[in-house]
Amino acid sequence: MELYRVLNNQRRPMSNRGEEKPRIGDTCRKKPRADPRLKGLTHLPRAQSLLICTECSRIKRGAMSSAGAWGCLLLCLSGLLLLPPFHSGVHAGKVLVFPVDGSHWVNMKLLIQGLHERGHQITVVRTASTWYIKEESPHYESITVALPEAINIEDEDFFVSLLSRMLEIQRAGASPLAYASFWWVILNGLSDIHRQGSQLAVEMFENRPLMDRLREAQYDLVLTDPGLAAGVLVAHELQLPTVFNVRWITSGEGHFVVAPSPISYVPTSGSNVSDRMSFADRLKNALQYLLNVCIDRYVVCPHYDRIVAKYFGPDVNFYHLLQASDLWLMRVDFVFEFPRPTMPNIVYIGGFQCKPAEPLPDDLEAFVQGSGEHGVILMSLGTLVKALPIEITSEIAAAFARLPQRVIWRYPGERPNNLGNNTLLVKWMPQNDLLGHPKVRAFVAHGGTNGIYEALYHGVPIVGVPLLFDQFENVLRLEVRGAAKVLDTSKIDRQNFWEALQEVLHSPSYRENMQRLSRLHRDRPMHPLDSAIYWTEFVMRHKGAAHLRTESYKMPWYAYHSVDVVVFLCVVLTGILGIVVFTIRFLCLRLCKRGKSKVE
């Protein structure tokens, strides 16, 4: 009887739609059709190897007797008993979670659900004014903390007003003074966000019964999004290991804190350059890096430094608390990100929220199928911004109306009066399932990380309309790889928007490049969600991961960059050179004197 091992990294057969067909045991994919004789096998963890008899595949076809089928299954199950379980050595742990609202919560929620399925007890700390994080959930318990002032990122109108002001300045061709005024507003807003967010730690520290309850609960670790760093401070107070679910931290992109990041070829946040930089690009990158450092030191960190000084004393440095995290679950994949140095305590989980498409609701499926050979275009601007100004949306609607394709547009704002009959406005759409549909031809996206990775996973080319923050850099990375066309949102009109759509729809290179990236993105030894859960449990098992963390963050800047060594060597070389020069001069003088005495 032939036996074979179905490993997690074995290539899956592909369906006609280019998606990987699910395997038995792949619980995060489409569920296989239930067979009462196979009950139990379909609920095994994805990352665990299965030992399966090839004859068992005949059970479904009815080509095997019941006795033979049960014999094969018993043999296979006995083989499973010999395999080490995926959770070997892991007890049902307790995890304290500090999430960030908005799209960040979408990622954190998936990780929470995965840990809950593994039997861990999850407690989520949320604010009373949170936007997405529900107080009650089957996957976690919650602790709600009332803040004196709501955090701006929990206010939908904050981002709408910020975007409107930015577009107004850009479209009007404002003076440098107007730009300076706008940046002053941004810096004040950034300062307010971290001042408000840091108050979460203060409210918890001042609530003695709450802190005592957290200590008595004996949590195994703190899982936090360091975009707002209150969780980092609480973890230090409770003396718990920390795991970061991270792309961005208080000072920008997370790599710049934990890993060497040479700015000669590593783009810094906000520079909007690729890893192939000219001299002008490197100059721009260096200046942007210095600006980011100044913003971090003088705008963001002071709010946390005051709390650290008050509750932990002068010997504790907030920046060192960030750098001392045991594990960084980095929401990055180098199929998308530019290559750069890394560290052993960084685990890359970019695209861990992606999965094969599920069937669409009947009304959406009918609309999509009605597109015929022309197909469908999707448009979504994410969760932070409800809608663009009406003058821009009218231009976009006019461009859509000229297309033979049908359009599904996630748009909760005011309906444009020139909307074409081919365009369906929806307040919400199953974005992942639509992107996986074979009739989808292009995705008009703002460049948020979640949407970018879903389009990357399904191989759908992008027309980028970046609005805020990292969205400009996200679409730039795909544009450099030939998988996206990027527009300046402030300059959009019906003609250039229509031309961008035509280019992406009718130039095969965009789809070919995106599908090539999709194949690379999917070709992994372990699903990134499994990897995130494994390494989180690794920290639980070993009470931290200090052996993966370098000591560089404890070094002063001059020691980290070996400035003291360079100065010492320069002094030594200067001394040796001085001795050599002095010796040569001395010998020359002696020879000259001896020559003069002989002449006389």
Mean residue pLDDT of the chain comes to 81
131-157 mean pLDDT: 82
Whether residue 424 sits in one domain with residue 387: yes
Angle between the N-to-C axes of helices 301-312 and 230-238, in degrees from 0 to 180, rounded to the nearest 10: 20
Q: Could you tell me if residue 49 is inside a domain? A: yes
Question: For residue 151, is pLDDT > 50?
Answer: yes
Quote the tokens at residue 345. 């305590």
The C-alpha atoms of residue 282 and residue 547 are separated, in whole angstroms, by 35
DSSP assignment letter at 356: P
Considering only residues 41 and 358, tell me which one the structure prediction assigns the higher pLDDT. Answer: 358
Contacts (Cβ under 8 Å, ≥6 apart) of 362: none
Which residue, among 114, 121, 123, has the nearest Cα to 144 in the 3D structure?
123
- Split at pLDDT 50, 70, 90, the class of 250 is confident
Whether residue 188 sits in one domain with residue 325: yes
CATH number at residue 110: 3.40.50.2000
- Phi and psi dihedrals of 46, rounded to 5? -65, -40
Question: For residue 88, is pLDDT > 90?
Answer: no
Q: Could you tell me if residue 60 is inside a domain? A: yes
Which value, to the nearest 10 degrees, does the dihedral of the CA atoms of residues 257, 259, 262, 268 take?
A: -40
Question: For residue 247, is pLDDT > 90?
Answer: no
Q: Could you tell me if residue 87 is inside a domain? A: no
Tell which of 32, 55, 81 closes a domain. Answer: 81
Q: Could you tell me if residue 430 is inside a domain? A: yes
| Burial track 517-533 (b if 16+ CB lie within 10 A, e otherwise) | bbeebbebeebbbbbbb
Whether residue 462 sits in one domain with residue 376: yes
The pLDDT, as a whole number, for residue 50 is: 34
- Phi and psi dihedrals of 33, rounded to 5? -60, 135
Which residue, among 108, 104, 294, 304, has the nearest Cα to 194 in the 3D structure?
304
- Split at pLDDT 50, 70, 90, the class of 172 is low
CA distances from 585 to 390, 589, 597, 599 (A): 82, 6, 18, 21
378-405 mean pLDDT: 83
Q: Could you tell me if residue 147 is inside a domain? A: yes
Q: Could you tell me if residue 124 is inside a domain? A: yes
- Split at pLDDT 50, 70, 90, the class of 156 is low
143-167 mean pLDDT: 75
Q: Could you tell me if residue 276 is inside a domain? A: no
Total domain count for the chain? Answer: 4
Tell which of 11, 46, 81 closes a domain. Answer: 81
Whether residue 539 sits in one domain with residue 411: no
Question: For residue 413, is pLDDT > 50?
Answer: yes
C-alpha 492, offset from chain centre: 28
468-485 mean pLDDT: 88
Question: For residue 76, is pLDDT > 70?
Answer: no
> 3-class SS at 243?
strand
SS3 letters for 512-567? HHHHHHHHHHHCCCCCHHHHHHHHHHHHHHCCCCHHHCCCHHHCCHHHHCCHHHHH
The C-alpha atoms of residue 220 and residue 541 are separated, in whole angstroms, by 9
- Split at pLDDT 50, 70, 90, the class of 10 is very low
Whether residue 574 sits in one domain with residue 472: no
Whether residue 470 sits in one domain with residue 413: yes
Q: What is the DSSP string of 310-344?
A: HHH-TT--HHHHHHT-SEEEE---TTTSPP----T
CA distances from 158 to 164, 224, 556 (A): 10, 24, 39
Q: Could you tell me if residue 296 is inside a domain? A: no
DSSP assignment letter at 82: T
Question: For residue 4, is pLDDT > 80?
Answer: no
pLDDT digits over 16-70, tens only?
A: 444 444 433 343 333 333 333 333 333 334 333 333 333 344 333 344 445 555 5
DSSP-derived pairing of the beta strands 484-486 and 462-464: parallel
Whether residue 453 sits in one domain with residue 388: yes
> Please, how many CA atoms are within 13 Å of residue 492, restricted to the half-sphere of its CB?
30
% of the chain surpassing 70 pLDDT: 80
- Split at pLDDT 50, 70, 90, the class of 155 is low
The C-alpha atoms of residue 274 and residue 478 are separated, in whole angstroms, by 10
On the 0-12 / 13-18 / 19+ scale of CB atoms within 10 A, 400 is: buried
The pLDDT, as a whole number, for residue 518 is: 94
The pLDDT, as a whole number, for residue 153 is: 67
The C-alpha atoms of residue 49 and residue 7 are separated, in whole angstroms, by 5
Whether residue 544 sits in one domain with residue 472: no
Whether residue 545 sits in one domain with residue 591: no
Whether residue 152 sits in one domain with residue 102: yes
Quote the tokens at residue 251. 């000072």
Whether residue 563 sits in one domain with residue 518: no
Tell which of 21, 54, 81 closes a domain. Answer: 81
Own/partner pairs, 30-34, CB within 8 angstroms, 24+ separation = 30/356, 30/358
Quote the tokens at residue 574. 């200067």
The pLDDT, as a whole number, for residue 383 is: 67
Parent domain of 167: 94-262+316-352+529-553
Whether residue 234 sits in one domain with residue 98: yes
- Split at pLDDT 50, 70, 90, the class of 2 is very low
